[in-house]
Amino acid sequence: MDDELFLQKNGEAFKEMKLLLLELQKTLLLLGENQKFYDNADLKSLLNVSDRTLYRMRKMNKIPFFKVGNKYYYPKQFFNQMAL
């Protein structure tokens, strides 16, 4: 009985992981192969802002981003265009 419960829980976890990987794959395909990204630390230095400011900018959709796990990424192309 314990083996069945173990397999059931692992099967559900596997399905969740598979869905997350498919979502990540779709996101990466949409972003393009040659596009480069900043992470939080890079963008904080570039814009001279705090974590909280980046959070507010994301929440208000002022900057494009995507999240992988617990880490946020921002397309360099967007910020390079802002500088022009």
In whole angstroms, what is the distance from residue 1 CA to residue 3 CA? Answer: 5
pLDDT at 64 over 50: yes
Q: How confident is the model at residue 61 (pLDDT cuts 50, 70, 90)?
A: very high
Q: Is 19 exposed, middle or buried (0-12, 13-18, 19+ CB in 10 A)?
A: exposed
Domain boundaries, the chain: 1-34, 35-84
pTM over 0.85: no
pLDDT at residue 1 in the model: 47
Q: Which residues, in sequence order, are CB contacts of 47 under 8 Å at separation 6+?
A: 53
pLDDT at 60 over 50: yes
- Provide the token pair at 30: 């949409």
**Of 7-11, 16-20, 60-64, where does mean pLDDT reach its minimum?**
7-11
Please compute Rg for the chain using Cα positions: 18
| Better pLDDT: 17 or 3 | 17
